[in-house]
Structure 1
């Protein structure tokens, strides 16, 4: 089987981010032909249509990294019932200027973890709406709204809860199958 490159965009900049740990855990559960490349978004300028004609280098790099990927994985926290500004900014940058949407047609998964009981359900709903507009086919099921509790993960982001590990493995298996179907790899 050929390699499948997955661009991972984590919407949390926090050093001890639960979502970054979740992204790493998902990558460990995937088969070896899937490589998960975490895309840096913390250094991007705020999107401004004035630079559509001459994109800053950091923005060009983001677009190139997304374009080089076969698939996408968005891992988002929920801030004020929506997606974090840093993630929306990265999406705006990589989908612009008009007619150069780097995300178009790439299959995506959307997952998240939060200390709140509903996980990241509303943030994911908002993100799915944005991705639908950008022509990003998004895996619908299973949805992954993880409620972070004491003992769920260790300090390295390894899932220590057997039930959560099984659930995430089910998501990864379905995501892998779906990405292969869409990319025909």
Structure 2
């Protein structure tokens, strides 16, 4: 299973539209039952407390999310907006909170793809580098081809859908490459 994560808790974020489009591409490639979608804006904030760092202190809401989206995953796609020159603090907090319980089973030995989105020109390159460093520390392997997507407001229609054809082509190619990287899409040529 691959989990696609929209890495912000900002309600109505543009990041979510890009993450969901990536989820759709992966679902078409490998089957909807093999891909899950997790938007941090949808998860309850009940897990945020100082007890989350104690063994046995994890809130049941977070345990449920971890059991459904993190532990059974073979790979992750992190779609991360640029916040203050990096990735959102809530994404780091989520990774930290999951890491208290079943530390080695969360990310170690698993593969990850990184997609950065920004309203500016760099597509969150620095944030993807920071996130890759965190994931490497946890034992995950990141796909070398990170995908920066810049000027995202110009790539969407007024309904908030990603419509820019060249961007959709690049995203689909990246999804194919990641499916091959994880080993769930053998023998398909990336175009």
State the TM-score, normalizing by the size of structure 1. Answer: 0.83
- Does the alignment pair 1:26 with 2:30? no
Distance 1:176 1:21 in 2: 20
CA 1:47 to 1:148, structure 2 compared with 1: closer, same or farther past 3 Å? farther
CA deviations on 1:67-121 (whole Å, 9 max, x unpaired) are 1222211111111112211100110011124745512222111112110111111
Distance 1:94 1:114 in 2: 26
Q: How does 1:120-135 map to 2 (within 5 A)?
A: 120-135=124-139
Q: How does 1:1-185 map to 2 (within 5 A)?
A: 5-30=1-26, 31-33=29-31, 34-38=34-38, 40=40, 41=43, 43=45, 44-46=47-49, 48=51, 51-65=54-68, 66-97=70-101, 99-141=103-145, 143-155=146-158, 157-180=160-183
Structure 1: which 5+ runs fail to align? Answer: none
Name which of structure 1's ranges 165-174 and 42-51 shifts more when overlaid on structure 2.
42-51
Aligned residue for 1:95, secondary structure, equals: helix
Aligned residue for 2:62, secondary structure, equals: helix
Distance 2:144 2:157 in 1: 28
CA 1:47 to 1:11, structure 2 compared with 1: closer, same or farther past 3 Å? farther
Distance 1:69 1:49 in 2: 22
Distance 1:161 1:39 in 2: 22
State the TM-score, normalizing by the size of structure 2. Answer: 0.81
Runs of 4+ in 1 over 6 A off after TM superposition: none
The Cα of 1:162 is off from its aligned counterpart by: 1.6
